Amino acid sequence: MEDLETIDAPSTSKDLFAALIRCHAEQNGSAAAFERQERIKLARKLLDLREARSIISARLQLTYGIGRSQAYEDISKALQIVREPYLKLDEQEVK
């Protein structure tokens, strides 16, 4: 699922494919692994937006119906993911 973002395809196609994978996983009982990946991905996104860990924990708990310790474990996993560097412009390009 993580590599889905790197595929050169329209975002609607990617979303439909991801939904198909989730549906298949739910039918086979392996949806928990995908849900955890989604929680960690959301936590990383919120960390990149500089949200407080307590806010991220509360949001994960409310969104996914998980406990406090699980939310903080997901945040810990998200912190291990290396963020993508932001594009920096030279001063000459900004002028």
- 86 is a domain residue: no
- 42 is a domain residue: yes
Among the listed residues 49, 22, 48, 38, the one whose alpha carbon sits nearest the alpha carbon of residue 74:
38
- 61 is a domain residue: yes
Q: How many domains does the chain have?
A: 1
- Distance separating alpha carbons of residues 35 and 85, to the nearest angstrom: 26
The mean pLDDT of 83-91, rounded to a whole number, is 58
- 2 is a domain residue: no
- 59 is a domain residue: yes
Domain range for 45: 10-80
Tens digits of per-residue pLDDT, 25-56?
Answer: 667 766 566 688 889 999 999 999 999 999 99
- 5 is a domain residue: no
- 37 is a domain residue: yes
